[in-house]
Structure 1
Amino acid sequence: MTQEEKQLREKDNLRRSLGRTVQTLRRTINANINEWGKEKPKFMTLTFKENVLDHEVANKEFREFIKRLSRRIFKKQSGLKYTCVVERQTRGAIHYHVLFYNLPYIKFEELLKVWENGKEQRGLRINAIESIDNVGAYVVKYIEKDIQAMKNGYDTKTGKSAKEKNKKLFFQSRGLIKPTERALSAKEVAELERQLIDENAVVFEAQHENEHVGKMTYKQIKKVISLP
């Protein structure tokens, strides 16, 4: 195998891997929304005052923040259920977008204090998620630029190959619900939709191109339960 053929194979394998990453991330998020108690899911953005470029430094700060916040809530270093995607802005600054599945209400000032930990001033935004048809797609959009850059096989900022970057696209807590996947025929899919879609169902649908199988349709069916 020539060096060029080897590089093409590595690039193709990377594209496949990134495609699976996006699918796994989106499905896992949708499987865990509203499944961890009565707390509304919350979406938090964490930023540094300084333009932090070192991924090891930034990721360590994020992990320590999760431990401090867990101790604040559960009196131990674990307990929070979350998904975090790492966004790298054009200037290289690292931001964290965190979807918490079981974070109770905490005053903003207290949250910010836990994030800053007596160090530099930092940024924090948080909102409860009231109604988003497809939370998984909403969260994934924050890493679309990095996904595309890695598919192209290079880092637009450093010129290094995707393999050399060694950057994590997302973090997730342990113990999250894993979505169940089944392969169905077109007839079976139609029958399943007939059973699930009624006047109490909200359907979210999107299409995207897959380089291996062509156009794909993603459909999420959500049951709306009316309270008495």
Structure 2
Amino acid sequence: MVPIKKAIKSYKYKIVETPTTVEVWEYIDDPVFYHVKDDVETVHADKDWIKEDFTCKDTLQQYDSLKRKQKHYEQMRWEIARIVDCNFDDATKFMTLTFKANEKDISFTNSEFNKFIKRLNYRLYKIKKQQLKYLAVWEKQKRGAIHYHVIFFNFPFIRISDLEKLWGHGFVKLNKIDVDSQENRGRYVSKYFSKDLERKEHKKKAFFKSQNLKTPLVRRTNSFKLTDLSDGQILYSKEYTRNIPDFHSTINSYKESTVRYTKFRKECTT
């Protein structure tokens, strides 16, 4: 078998843009290198925690794995906030679904949640094809009972009584999302995605999203003019270091490389 050759490329800037903000990662000391095969970028992610068998690990290993998972969810929290920003509109609603019974089986409740989404979609649009736009996360109370938080975008009017009939398991609460500023609207829901992590099942999917959502514009480039964004638009900025392989060393070693992160507010938002 002939080995597949992968081209190596690099970038000095990563830019993530939503309707209200522009985030810039500037890799000051060293660029980011990545592989490309057939013009498709190879994504490298730390997914070891998904495969962990916690019944076979000692306390220290469990702690390390949980910290990796926590880091993953913290990163995902910000990604979710960006998706909220990209899809937010005047008809965005926040829903909470609860169970009358003290349901603790994630597999069962996830199945019931998916059935509810299908029934709700058909009730609103009269077709089976997915039209609802949503993000959802499950959460456990201290007593172990499971409930769901869902953010719906462009959500049509429907009576609470009809929602409770469609849900069929208990209480349904529906609220319009009220935020103090546009750039904070993603935080309203994203906080639930890393909340009470220690009470979540380690091998269960923690959140769901429909496939019809708009996503942020992501660019990776070696050329970007920070002067195009004014200092008055800065919401947050920091410098930190990342550990990368030291290719100039004769042994397998790592070195620290500086990254500057800046988040800008767009001058014109909708």
Structure 1 and Structure 2 fold alike (TM over 0.5) = yes
Match of 2:176 among 102, 109, 128: 128
- SS of 1:165's equivalent in the other structure is coil
Instruction: Name 2:116's counterpart in structure 1.
Output: 65
- Shifted more, 206-215 versus 66-75: the winner is 206-215
Cα RMSD (Å) of the superposition?
3.6
Residue 172 of structure 1 aligns with an amino acid whose one-letter code is K
Residue 58 of structure 1 aligns with an amino acid whose one-letter code is T
Instruction: Name 1:53's counterpart in structure 2.
Output: 104
> Residue 76 and residue 89 in structure 1: after superposition, are their counterparts in 2 closer, same or farther (change >3 A)?
same
User: 2:138 aligned with 1:86, yes or no?
Assistant: yes
Q: How many residue pairs get matched?
A: 193
Alignment gaps of 5+ in structure 2: 1-56, 243-257
Match of 2:155 among 94, 103, 107: 103
In structure 2, C-alpha distance between the alignment counterparts of 1:84 and 1:215, rounded to whole Å: 32
- Shifted more, 48-57 versus 106-115: the winner is 106-115
- SS of 1:145's equivalent in the other structure is coil
Instruction: Name 2:126's counterpart in structure 1.
Output: 75
Which has more radius of gyration? 2
> Residue 127 and residue 12 in structure 1: after superposition, are their counterparts in 2 closer, same or farther (change >3 A)?
closer
Q: 1:44 touches 1:99 (CA, 8 Å); kept in 2?
A: yes
Instruction: Name 1:141's counterpart in structure 2.
Output: 191
Deviations 1:124-170 (A, max 9, x none): 110122445322211122243333x3xxxxx5xxxxxx8x7212221
In structure 1, C-alpha distance between the alignment counterparts of 2:178 and 2:125, rounded to whole Å: 24
Aligned sequence identity (%): 34
Q: 2:70 touches 2:194 (CA, 8 Å); kept in 1?
A: no
Instruction: Name 1:115's counterpart in structure 2.
Output: 167
User: Does 1 or 2 have the higher relative contact order (CA < 8 Å, sep 6+)?
Assistant: 2
In structure 2, C-alpha distance between the alignment counterparts of 1:50 and 1:127, rounded to whole Å: 23
Q: 2:77 touches 2:194 (CA, 8 Å); kept in 1?
A: no
Alignment gaps of 5+ in structure 1: 150-154, 156-161, 198-202
- Distance apart, 1:20 and its partner CA: 2.7
Return the structure number with greater helix share.
1
Instruction: Name 2:207's counterpart in structure 1.
Output: 170
- Distance apart, 1:206 and its partner CA: 6.6
Residue 208 of structure 2 aligns with an amino acid whose one-letter code is F
- SS of 1:125's equivalent in the other structure is strand
Instruction: Name 1:158's counterpart in structure 2.
Output: none
Instruction: Name 1:180's counterpart in structure 2.
Output: 217
Return the TM-score normalized by structure 1.
0.68
